[in-house]
Structure formats: structure tokens, C-alpha cells
A and B are shown apart, each in its own frame.
Chain A
């Protein structure tokens, strides 16, 4: 059931990301809803959920929209894993930490993207890349953080979404 719910949420996120958000572009930049959702899932569901969802979501995006298989998968897997590291670690912060996680996730995502562009010898000016893509996307994604964060909090408070991993293998 949990798998179905997570799959449905990811699919919905993917559909919204590819259909609705292009209409909400500001200067050609749209928020990364999937990234924000992944941060929320990792934060409230921990690992291995974060890793798994990140990896599969990324693979799905690579297959559906990517040019090279693995880029989105790597980005989202690391983001999901990173967000999962904070599972049960922060209980007192209401919004500041999720927002910081979103900022961190955006940075990781774009650093990996820039490295990919660099190594694939694609010409990308770092200054313009940061000012015209990274920061606007980060700011735009931060707006989505608040509703998605509380939606995930509500979702993962349900019994069906309880963590099944008995061991603390994925906790640090």
C-alpha cells in the first residue's frame, strides 16, 4: 500500500512537473516539485525510502525525458539519501530546516548537473548558470517547500506510511 501511495505521489509530481509547472515559469525557470517532494519524503520517511524513491524517480525521468541515463537518477538518489539522513534528527524546527534542505538539494542537483555539462564538454558559463538558473530555481522551489513539507508530514503521520525497516541500518 505504501509503495502504491508513494508511486502515485511521484507519478502525480511527475505529471504536474511536466504539464502544470511549465505554465508557471518565471523568466524560463520553473520550480522543481519532484525535488521538493523528495526532500519531504526523505525527511519524514528516512532511508532507504529516500534513496529508493530518489533513484527510481530519477531513472524514470532519465528514461522519459533525459538525454543520458543516470543523471537525474544520481541527482535524486543523492538528494533522497541526504534528506533521509535527517530523519528523526530534527524535531523542533518547523520550517527552517526543510527550507535549508531544499536549498542544499538544489545546490547538489545543480552542482552535479554542472559537472555533467562540464565533463560532457557542453559550454555552460558558471556565472550565468548560477544567477539565471540555480538561484531562481532555488527561490521558486522554496515557495513550494512549505505546502509540500506539511503535506508529507501529514502523510507520513498515517499508520500505512510507517517505516518498515526494523533495524537501524539506515539511521545514523
Chain B
């Protein structure tokens, strides 16, 4: 008797299992209508199902909104970082593009003047004060740069080297009041001396061409180039354009206001001319 009673749970499980397998076979087959068993259980569990569904939906929506919120936040952070990265890339690309343009222009200058030995250099510093306009470049004596070499860009004359270090040099720009360059008006061939004027440059971006003879026919729009006198600047380097004349009565000489071709406020790359050969004059 005890042995039989020990088997009762097994028997119950087996009977239930058989019943469930039959239920599976019946309900698992393709059919059009719901079985009576399912219908019976369905009616019993319908309220529970509804409640469970509502509760599950509530929690699902809650977790879904958390998940969505977390995703949106992550996506926002990712996009924000991406935006910063892309902006950086854009700035870098823009910078490279501009640098490329500038270097290409310098290369053009070099190619147009094959007789000259030129050294490319970067401007690495500018005089911090208001009264001097000197630049520091990253080429020095060990790179072949020497004092009194001319410094140019494709736009025209920048200045001359005044001090040389191993790998750096100081350049006195033509707009510095201590700088004087022998110049000539390309059209009228009037000789004069270009002098920097710090106040004039800072205010209007100009410098002066002094000691022009009274009978000089120079006029606005004339190109001014280096005359080659003084053995520092090669002849024919463009300097700028005449933008005005100062003709004071009883003055011995005329003075012209010159707009330098070089933008000294945005100077980044320059060329140092190694050999002071005369340049063929460039005509307009």
C-alpha cells in the first residue's frame, strides 16, 4: 500500500502530462475556431489576462520610455560629440585649404622667378608693440638665410632680414618707420624712397613714398616696385599701389601714399630671396 501511495504523485503528473499533450495536439493543429478547452480557460483567465496585459503594458511603456529616453540621450551625446568633431575637421580642412592656396601662390612666385633662390618660411611671431613692425620667421642661418635678404610674398615685398639665428630670423617690414626702400613707379619711372609710417599703416594700412621729384608724373593707381638700388632688394619686386598724392606748396619733393600689396595683418607664409638678382619687371 505504501509503495502505491508513493507513486500517486507520479501518476498524477503522468495523467496531467498526458492530458496536456492531448490538449497540445488538439490546440496546436491549424484550426478555424478556438477549442472548448481554450474557450473555457479563456473565459476564466480573460479578466486576469486583461489585468496582466494592462499592467504589462504600463510597465512596458515605462521601461520603453526609459529605454527610449536613454537612447535619445545617448544619441544626443553622440551627435553632439560628432558635431564638435566635424566642426574641428571642417576648421582643419578650411585651414588646410587656405594654407594650400597661400603656398600655391608662393610657389607660383617661385616658378615665375626661376633665377631666384628662395626659401619658404613661416611667420612665427610679430612684434607685440605698436611702434615696430618686425616679424619672426622660422628660417635662420642654418637654413641659408642671411642678414639683408629680401622677404616677399606673391603679393609683393614684405621687408628685409635684420637679424639671423640658427633657425629663426627677424624681418623688418616695409611698414616699419625705420625701414626705407628705394622704389620706382612702374609707369612713370619716378624714383623715390618708400618709408613706413606706423601710425599711417595702423590707421589706413598705408605707407609713404617720399623724395619724389616735383615734376614726377606719378598718379593714383600706379604700381610701385623696388628700384634695385642699395643692393638689398632685387629690382622689380612689387611693393604696392599709389592711392594718393601729397603735394604741399613750396615743398621740394612730392610724396605719394602707397597701399602695400601685402596684407601685414594676415601674414603667415613668406619667401626669403637668397640671391639679389634683378627681376624682370612685371607689366600689368
Residue of B nearest to A81 (CB): B13
Q: A47 contacts the other chain (Cβ, under 8 Å)?
A: yes
Q: Are A69 and B37 interface neighbours, CB within 8 A?
A: yes
**Which of A15, A48, A59, A170 neighbours the largest number of chain B CB atoms within 10 Å of its CB?**
A15
Bound complex: CA A51 to CA B14 (Å)? 11
Q: A129 contacts the other chain (Cβ, under 8 Å)?
A: no
Residues 130-158 of B, flagged 1 when their CB comes within 8 A of A and 0 if not, give 00000000000000000000000000000
Given A15-B56, A19-B59, A63-B42: A74 touches B20 (CB 8 Å cut-off):
yes
Bound complex: CA A9 to CA B208 (Å)? 96
Q: A68 contacts the other chain (Cβ, under 8 Å)?
A: yes
Bound complex: CA A68 to CA B57 (Å)? 23
Q: Are A19 and B56 interface neighbours, CB within 8 A?
A: yes
Q: B38 contacts the other chain (Cβ, under 8 Å)?
A: yes
Bound complex: CA A17 to CA B198 (Å)? 81
Shortest distance between the CB of A106 and any CB in chain B (Å): 19
State how many residues of chain A have any CB contact under 8 Å with chain B.
33
Bound complex: CA A19 to CA B59 (Å)? 6
Q: Are A169 and B9 interface neighbours, CB within 8 A?
A: yes
Bound complex: CA A78 to CA B23 (Å)? 16
Chain B residues, Cβ within 8 Å of A74: 17, 20-21, 24
Which DSSP category, helix, strand, loop or mixed, fits chain B's interface?
helix
Residues 26-66 of B, flagged 1 when their CB comes within 8 A of A and 0 if not, give 11100000010110011001001100110111111001100
Q: Are B9 and A51 interface neighbours, CB within 8 A?
A: yes
Residue of A nearest to B59 (CB): A19
| A19 partner, pick from B12, B22, B28, B63, beta carbons under 8 A | B63
Q: Are A11 and B52 interface neighbours, CB within 8 A?
A: yes
Q: Are B48 and A60 interface neighbours, CB within 8 A?
A: yes
Q: B283 contacts the other chain (Cβ, under 8 Å)?
A: no
Q: A64 contacts the other chain (Cβ, under 8 Å)?
A: yes
Shortest distance between the CB of B162 and any CB in chain A (Å): 72
Cβ < 8 Å to B, chain A residues 1-25: 11, 14-16, 18-20, 22-23
Bound complex: CA A81 to CA B9 (Å)? 9
Q: A67 contacts the other chain (Cβ, under 8 Å)?
A: yes
Q: Are B42 and A116 interface neighbours, CB within 8 A?
A: no
Shortest distance between the CB of A73 and any CB in chain B (Å): 5
Q: Are A70 and B41 interface neighbours, CB within 8 A?
A: no
Q: Are A15 and B17 interface neighbours, CB within 8 A?
A: no
Q: Are A172 and B6 interface neighbours, CB within 8 A?
A: yes
Given A19-B63, A74-B17, A78-B17: A48 touches B48 (CB 8 Å cut-off):
no
Q: B5 contacts the other chain (Cβ, under 8 Å)?
A: yes
Q: Are A63 and B41 interface neighbours, CB within 8 A?
A: yes
Q: Are B45 and A64 interface neighbours, CB within 8 A?
A: yes
Q: Are A23 and B9 interface neighbours, CB within 8 A?
A: no
Q: Are B28 and A23 interface neighbours, CB within 8 A?
A: no
Give me 9 A-to-B residue pairs in the complex whose CB atoms sit less than 8 angstroms apart, sorted by A's number: A11-B52, A15-B52, A15-B55, A23-B64, A23-B67, A70-B20, A73-B23, A116-B28, A170-B9
- A residues contacting B by CB (< 8 A) are 11, 14-16, 18-20, 22-23, 47-48, 51, 55, 59-60, 62-64, 67-71, 73-74, 77-78, 81, 116, 120, 169-170, 172
18 other contacts beyond A15-B59, A70-B27, with CB at 8 A cut-off? A11-B48, A15-B56, A18-B52, A19-B57, A19-B59, A51-B13, A60-B45, A60-B48, A64-B45, A64-B53, A69-B24, A69-B35, A70-B21, A73-B23, A74-B21, A77-B20, A169-B5, A172-B6
